[in-house]
Amino acid sequence: MDFFIQLLVNGLSVGFLYGLSAMGFVMIFKSSSVLNFAHGELLALGAFVFLSLHSVVQLPIGWAFLATLTGCFVLGFLIERFFLRPLIGEPLIYVIMLTVGLAAMLRGLLLLIWGGNLRTLPDFLPAWMDIQSGWLRIPPVYMAAILVGVLFLVLFGLFFKYSAQGIFMRSVADNQRAALSLGVHVRRVFALSWGIAALVAGMSGIILGLMNGISVHDLSAVGLKVFPVVILGGLNSISGAVIGGLIIGVLEAFTGGYLSPSLRDVVPYIVLVVLLLVRPYGLFGLVEIERV
Amino acid sequence: MRKLRLHPCGNYKESYADELAIFSSDYGRLWSLAGIAALFCAVPFISPPYLLYVVNMIGIYAIAAIGLNILVGYTGMISLGHGAFFGVGAYAAAVMSATFNVPFLLSVPAAGLITAGVGMIFGIPSGRLKGLYLTIATLAGQFIIEYVLVHWEGVTRGTEGITVPAPTLFGISLRGDIRFFYVIFAVLALMIWMAVNLIRTRYGRAFIAIRDNDRAAEGMGIPIFSYKILSFGISSFYAGLAGALWAYYMVSVTSEPFNLSLSVEYIAMVIIGGLGSVAGSVYGAVFITVLNESLRWLTDLMMNFGFITQSGLNMAPLREFAFGLAIVLFILFEPRGLAELWRIIRSSFRLWPFSY
Amino acid sequence: MEDTLLEINNISVVYADVIQVLKGVSLQVPNRRIVSLLGSNGAGKTTTLKAVSGLLKPENGRVTDGAILYEGHPLENRSPEQITRLGIIQVLEGRQPFKYLTIEENLRVGTATRWGKPYRKDLELVYHYFPVLWDRRKALAGYCSGGELQMLVMGRALMAHPKLLLLDEPSLGLAPLVVEEIFRIIARINGEQQTTIILVEQNARIALEIAHYGYVMENGKIVMEGASETLKDNPDVKEFYLGGGGAGGPGAYQQPKSYRRRKRWL
């Protein structure tokens, strides 16, 4: 039983991180319908920039953190401006392929600068996050993952539901032409969503790095795990992304704990295929309203 | 003998047969024949072994790329599992020849058929899924197949891999680059011929109709689900065939090469070559293979510079970067691919100096 | 003519650098009036509207010649973001709601030109004109009927405080009773909000009913213009756009030779 609970807790906190990564992904998809294959590289970039700012530039943790997030935001903005904007209106496959190419470029750069080895981030989380009650222990990293996950979930939920900018973003995702006719600044919406997505990615990259150490390959693999997560949750649902993340996280923990560690990494994809056959638009995705 | 037709300076097609013709002029036919003859007679003997190896790899990749183009470029379904299907073909051939002593002539097409079956199974989601969701389903297929290849140890021998015995064809041993060259390119020529003709049949037209608008296609009476599955099957057949040739050519088969990057490389070939163009797939295979090999050569060269070695900088990732850059630049500047580029060059020659 | 809000001088529009759709269109829209633009399919009515609102650009179209003056400022080939901020809002043909947004969220998108600034008052105004929307305000637009959607997209445009409203075929695919209601509201908006309106319509009868002035387009050119009353009485317009009248009387089918009257303007 203890083992079960511990696995559950581990799974949930990893799940929150998956959810957090997926949120950024959904953000981009929701506004510009772009499937971002470079998401894992954005995660890795956030983690490595943070590491360098802290250990090489010797910035205090707080500043390094802020600087990383700002940098990620700007990077997202630039990626949209220079790579994706020229492709507005092109067929899906070109956009997908562009992000795949982008992923290869970023991965090459990351490996070139920081190498392929596993690095560890300094542990800076406060002690109160370490929760210990009887046999159950939630390490601070897990606690941080849960807190940040919940925080961003609530923030994004409110943002999309009530803020004008959030509604504009949804309107662009829905019908670009109509949004344009009403004066919604479509290109700005795209750029903004990339910026925010990169920021969230950087954030989850840092926490993932705290949890398992950072290596380019591991983090870009997490970027691919975002796919089962978002499909499970539905490609355009922010809360779905988090729930999908939790499900995948717990599933992985249990498979790793009870069945076999090697099956762990493939289980999300098996679930994905089965789910797609049963519910093609994910658990919480929008059923396409098609009127002919 | 009838008069040779030259390229007309405009669209003068008068019948459907003209529209469907593969070569719009007899010179096209002549040039292709001359090209094939030169390829078969000259290339194997004048090229150094390394170059011949590259040429052979191009041939194998081109077969698989044509298959992917049938799925992506003609039927409009984006698959990220082509590398895994290629792997299924390689393993099928390896297992058949190493474990069951199936002869080369039988095992290669059989590997193609097995892969086609696997591809059709992973194509089932296409019945309900479209666009991005289908792409992600094929991505899942990639990971699942990869897992099975590594962990189904009874058949695939896991990470240890399989060593494929030397193939023989009609009593002639097929070891060596030159002999294999003929096998690969004979198969490639056959596959190109099949693909080009497939597109002209009702099946090809149905694929294109599904690509352009699957709901309308369904409304026109095309059973889209069976055609989509068929497209997956044909595409995987090509991949399996190429994989089988690869297994025989490389002698030893392990699961590492058949990862997601291979699938991405295939998609890159198809896009850079030109979607919906059989010739484009071949150009794409040439481009990507040559790019990969020259980048490898370049990074090896740079590793030998004293100051780079001393600074401990590993230049290998530069390859990945340059590969990504090539894809990105292509998509930004010539998204229709090499086939389109070639068409533009040709027509500007043809219409010169009056380009309007 | 009283003060002119929008003046189009001899514009040509070309799509994809190849297809010329407008071949020298000129028209004038007086302030606070409804001007209707009539013509058959493919005459270039929608293109004219898009040239004004800047929506040609995403469709690879371009104004190659001539000038569009709005309150004296040139508009041609400016981006839709800029043009909408000048108070020109186009209501697209075929109702383009945001299907996954609720009615009220749809309306809020209309405030984009003001960065979503205070919108409560505008919402009230829209609900005042279109009470149906109030009842359905929490419903997803994708599940609303055609009539509701037409009201929605017009209300959405109204949220932007337009000075010039470009309406593209508001009657498309709607029942006659609904059409009448919508046109009544258009006339009211024009009268009460002082909004200038360009109305593109197939249903010439009802368009001329509420418009003050009309232009008839054919093949990318303006072929006829005049006050609504004049147009309504013009025998050519009667024959080709209003149906009935002229030679098309009850006997028309019995006399196939005289069935088609020659268009005198060509």
Taking only the tens of pLDDT, chain A with its 292 residues reads: 778 888 888 888 888 888 888 888 888 887 777 888 888 898 888 888 888 888 887 778 888 888 888 999 999 889 888 888 887 767 777 888 888 889 989 988 888 888 777 777 777 777 676 777 767 777 788 888 888 888 888 888 888 888 888 888 888 878 888 888 888 888 888 888 889 889 888 888 888 888 878 888 888 888 888 888 888 877 777 778 888 888 888 988 888 888 887 788 888 888 888 887 777 666 665 555 544 3
Please determine, for residue C1, whether its predicted confidence score (pLDDT) is greater than 50: no
Kindly list the residues from chain C whose CB atom is less than 8 angstroms away from the CB atom of residue A183. Answer: 80-81, 84-85, 89, 112-113, 160
Kindly list the residues from chain A whose CB atom is less than 8 angstroms away from the CB atom of residue B275. Answer: 93
CB contact under 8 A, A94 and B331: yes
Looking only at the bridges linking them, the beta strands covering C4-15 and C61-70 are: antiparallel
pLDDT-derived band at B19, boundaries 50, 70, 90: low
Could you tell me if C42 lies within 8 Å of chain A, comparing CB atoms?
Answer: no
Q: Chains A and C: how many Cβ contacts under 8 Å?
A: 89
Could you tell me if C58 lies within 8 Å of chain A, comparing CB atoms?
Answer: yes
The pLDDT assigned to C246 comes to: 47
CA A16, A18, A22, A24 torsion: positive or negative? Answer: positive
The pLDDT assigned to B185 comes to: 87
Could you tell me if B319 lies within 8 Å of chain A, comparing CB atoms?
Answer: yes
- Tens-place pLDDT, residues B185-242: 888 988 988 898 888 888 888 888 888 887 888 888 888 888 999 999 999 999 999 9
Residue of A nearest to B336 (CA): A94
CB contact under 8 A, A289 and C92: no
| Candidates B124, B144, B335; nearest CB to A270 | B144
The pLDDT assigned to B89 comes to: 92
CATH class of A2-115+138-278: mainly alpha
Could you tell me if C259 lies within 8 Å of chain A, comparing CB atoms?
Answer: no
Question: In A127-222, at which residue ranges do the beta strands (DSSP E only) sit?
Answer: 131-133, 136-138
Could you tell me if B288 lies within 8 Å of chain A, comparing CB atoms?
Answer: no
Please determine, for residue B6, whether its predicted confidence score (pLDDT) is greater than 70: no
CB contact under 8 A, B327 and A104: yes
- Confirm if C75 and C83 have CB atoms less than 8 A apart: yes
Please determine, for residue C215, whether its predicted confidence score (pLDDT) is greater than 80: yes
Q: Calculate helix-pair angle for B131-151, B82-99, nearest 10 degrees.
A: 30
Interface of B with A in 249-278 (CB under 8 A): 260, 264, 267-268, 271, 275
Kindly list the residues from chain A whose CB atom is less than 8 angstroms away from the CB atom of residue B125. Answer: 273, 276-277
C234-241: Cβ within 8 A, 24+ apart: C235/C261, C236/C261, C236/C263, C236/C264, C236/C265, C237/C38, C237/C204, C241/C38, C241/C204, C241/C216
First-last CA distance in chain C: 27
CATH number of C4-233: 3.40.50.300
d(C-alpha B314, C-alpha B301), whole Å: 12
Q: Return the ∠ at Cα B111 (arms to B240 and B86), rounded to 5°.
A: 25
Q: Chains A and B: how many Cβ contacts under 8 Å?
A: 137
- Which two structure tokens, joined as six digits, stand for C58? 């995403």
Residues of chain C above pLDDT 70, percent:
89
Residue of B nearest to A217 (CA): B317
Q: Which amino acid is at A18?
A: Y
Global pTM reads 0.78
**CA B126 → CA A290, B208, B309, distances in Å?**
18, 16, 50
d(C-alpha C97, C-alpha C106), whole Å: 7
A65 Cα to chain B: minimum distance (Å): 27
Q: Which amino acid is at C58?
A: P
SS3 content of chain C, % helix, strand, coil (to 5): 40, 25, 30
CB contact under 8 A, B125 and A224: no
| Candidates A167, A178, A184; nearest CB to C105 | A167
Residue of C nearest to A291 (CA): C142
Task: State the average pLDDT for chain B.
Answer: 81
pLDDT-derived band at B84, boundaries 50, 70, 90: very high
Kindly list the residues from chain B whose CB atom is less than 8 angstroms away from the CB atom of residue A104. Answer: 264, 320-321, 323-324, 327
Interface of B with A in 139-158 (CB under 8 A): 139-141, 143-144, 146-147, 151
| Candidates B318, B322, B324; nearest CB to A102 | B324
- Tens-place pLDDT, residues C65-123: 888 888 888 887 788 888 888 888 888 888 888 888 888 888 888 888 877 677 788 88
The pLDDT assigned to B50 comes to: 82
Please determine, for residue C162, whether its predicted confidence score (pLDDT) is greater than 50: yes
Give every CB contact of residue B354 below 8 A, 6+ residues apart in sequence: none
First-last CA distance in chain A: 54
Q: Does ipTM top 0.85? A: no
Q: Which of B211, B262, B331 to substitute to test the interface with A, most A CBs within 10 Å?
A: B331
Residues of chain B above pLDDT 90, percent:
15
- Top-confidence residue, C242 or B34: B34
Q: Which amino acid is at C225?
A: E
- The phi, psi pair for A269, rounded to 5°, reads -75, -35
CB contact under 8 A, B143 and A100: no
The candidate with the shortest Cα–Cα distance to A214, out of A198, A228, A202, A226, is A202
Task: For C201-217, give one letter per residue: b (16+ CB within 10 A) or e.
Answer: bebbebbbebbbbbbbb
| Candidates A179, A181, A286; nearest CB to C100 | A286
Could you tell me if A277 lies within 8 Å of chain B, comparing CB atoms?
Answer: yes
B37 Cα to chain A: minimum distance (Å): 36
In this complex, which chains have at least 3 CB pairs below 8 Å with chain B?
A
| Candidates A115, A228, A276; nearest CB to B314 | A115
Please determine, for residue C2, whether its predicted confidence score (pLDDT) is greater than 70: no
CB contact under 8 A, C109 and A171: yes
The pLDDT assigned to B61 comes to: 93
Touch criterion met for B and A (3+ Cβ pairs within 8 Å): yes
**CA B176 → CA A4, B38, B161, B180, distances in Å?**
57, 20, 21, 6
CATH number of B47-348: 1.10.3470
d(C-alpha C86, C-alpha C190), whole Å: 18
CB contact under 8 A, A227 and B128: no
The pLDDT assigned to B68 comes to: 92
CB contact under 8 A, C55 and A177: yes
| Candidates A101, A224, A231; nearest CB to B133 | A231
Does residue A87 sit in helix, strand or coil?
Answer: helix
CB contact under 8 A, A180 and C55: yes
The candidate with the shortest Cα–Cα distance to B278, out of B187, B197, B213, B333, is B197
d(C-alpha A46, C-alpha C4), whole Å: 56
Kindly list the residues from chain A whose CB atom is less than 8 angstroms away from the CB atom of residue C99. Answer: 174-175, 289
The pLDDT assigned to B236 comes to: 93
Give every CB contact of residue B294 below 8 A, 6+ residues apart in sequence: none
The pLDDT assigned to C248 comes to: 45
CB contact under 8 A, A289 and C143: yes
d(C-alpha B297, C-alpha B51), whole Å: 12
Does residue C73 sit in helix, strand or coil?
Answer: strand
CA A102, A107, A108, A114 torsion: positive or negative? Answer: positive
Query: Residues B296-311: what's their mean pLDDT?
Result: 70
Q: Is the backbone peptide bond immediately before B335 cis, with ω within 30 degrees of 0?
A: no
Task: For A244-263, give one letter per residue: b (16+ CB within 10 A) or e.
Answer: bbbbbbbbbbbbbbeeeeee
CB contact under 8 A, B331 and A87: yes
pLDDT-derived band at B60, boundaries 50, 70, 90: very high
Query: Residues C175-194: what's their mean pLDDT?
Result: 88
Please determine, for residue B86, whether its predicted confidence score (pLDDT) is greater than 90: yes
Q: Return the ∠ at Cα B286 (arms to B280 and B292), rounded to 5°.
A: 130
- Tens-place pLDDT, residues A16-58: 888 888 888 888 887 777 888 888 898 888 888 888 888 887 7
Could you tell me if A98 lies within 8 Å of chain B, comparing CB atoms?
Answer: yes
Q: Is B276 left (phi over 0), alpha (psi -120 to 50) or beta?
A: left
SS3 content of chain B, % helix, strand, coil (to 5): 75, 0, 20
pLDDT-derived band at B353, boundaries 50, 70, 90: low
| Candidates A90, A98, A235; nearest CB to B328 | A98
